[in-house]
Amino acid sequence: MTAGPEGRTRYPAGRGRAIALAWRRSDAFQKTAFALLALLAAFMLLPIVFVFSHAFKPINELFLYPPRFWVMEPTIVNFQNLLLRTQSLTIPFTRYLFNSVLTTALTVAFTILVSSMAAYAFSKHRFPGSKPIFAIIILSLMFAPEAVAIPRYLVIARIGIMDTYFAHVVPLLAAPVSVFLMKQFVDQLPDELLEAARMDGAGDWTAFFRLVLPICLPAVATVGILTFQASWNQMETSSLYTQTESMKTLPYYVTTLTNGIANNVVGQGIAAAATLLVFVPNLIIFLAFQRKVIATMAHSGIK
């Protein structure tokens, strides 16, 4: 804020001006609540800061007692040791990274497609058993992943996709949370809008891709973020459904670091660097689409 020639207070243009005006008009309770929420947000950022700080710590700071939260002498030695470690392996580091990128992209694309199509069918079409089937989908939210591990393994084994890329993708396509979020958005679309599209000659596929999906972009972005995080951090598929080392993903490789060479001095730094590499894509995707997530949560309970 700056003072004008007439003694009036000038605020920054655009959003900064709106924030400044809102802060000036708020009462003491609102300012106190904002300050407390800001402190809470800063506290919740501490784990993220620690991940970055820990990855750049030299060996002497990694084993320093009492441990320090901040890195005092940043270094990239841990990343150099990670590259040297991967060069000595039969399967290169880039292969694990490629597997993670490919399977995550396929999982996100197919999950969005399957969930949005299911939501459109449940919301705008009436077919026998639609309500009981949707009730079963909601009921499946109660089950922990460990409860369906054995049935899921039997299904993957019997359809013959063990030790393939499909083994990383198919188990994650059953996403009841994604179907629920998408259906809440599709429910808000007026039936008259779809009827007008049909009167103009649009079929179900045209109305779905050109009308429903563009309107539901906030829900699509939220489903994409949730699916990306679930697929990118997935280690179960590499442990249970693949036996060939070249078919395993990056998070599985990171666990081999922490289970093996991380017991020695150099391994701690390598594990810290690899953990940061796995974490950064999650952070970037969330920051890029966080507004869509907030919009989805705001509308998911509105009828």
Checking if the pLDDT of 132 tops 70, the result is: yes
Checking if the pLDDT of 106 tops 90, the result is: yes
Q: Which of 196-200, 219-223, 241-245, 287-291 has the lowest mean pLDDT?
A: 287-291
Domain that holds residue 279: 83-299
Are residues 119 and 208 both part of a single domain?
Answer: yes
Sign of CA dihedral 83, 86, 92, 96: negative
| Span 272-300, average pLDDT | 75
pLDDT at 16: 60
| pLDDT grade for 2, boundaries at 50, 70 and 90 | very low
Query: Per residue in 13-26, pLDDT tens?
Result: 555 676 666 667 77
pLDDT at 264: 61
| pLDDT grade for 298, boundaries at 50, 70 and 90 | low
The rounded distance, in Å, linking the Cα atoms of 187 and 176 is 16
H helices present in the chain, as ranges: 15-25, 28-44, 46-55, 59-62, 77-87, 93-124, 130-139, 149-158, 166-169, 176-186, 191-199, 204-207, 213-215, 217-232, 236-240, 250-259, 265-299
Are residues 137 and 71 both part of a single domain?
Answer: no
pLDDT at 11: 44
Are residues 21 and 67 both part of a single domain?
Answer: no
Are residues 62 and 150 both part of a single domain?
Answer: no
CA-based nearest residue to 172, from 155, 197, 189, 186: 155
The rounded distance, in Å, linking the Cα atoms of 211 and 15 is 31
| pLDDT grade for 259, boundaries at 50, 70 and 90 | low
Per-residue buried b or exposed e for 106-139, using 16+ beta carbons within 10 Å of the residue's own CB? bbbeebbebbbbbbbbbbbeeeeeeeeebeebee
CATH number at residue 204: 1.10.3720.10
Checking if the pLDDT of 238 tops 60, the result is: yes
Per-residue buried b or exposed e for 206-230, using 16+ beta carbons within 10 Å of the residue's own CB? ebbeebbbeebebbbbbbbbbbbeb
Are residues 63 and 144 both part of a single domain?
Answer: no
Residue 291 tokens read as 């507004």
Are residues 57 and 125 both part of a single domain?
Answer: no
Are residues 261 and 210 both part of a single domain?
Answer: yes
Are residues 207 and 292 both part of a single domain?
Answer: yes
Q: Are 55 and 273 within 8 A, CB to CB? A: yes
| Span 161-187, average pLDDT | 88
| Span 182-205, average pLDDT | 84
pLDDT at 9: 46
CA-based nearest residue to 152, from 143, 194, 265, 183: 143
| pLDDT grade for 95, boundaries at 50, 70 and 90 | confident
Tell me how many domains the chain contains: 3
The rounded distance, in Å, linking the Cα atoms of 269 and 275 is 10
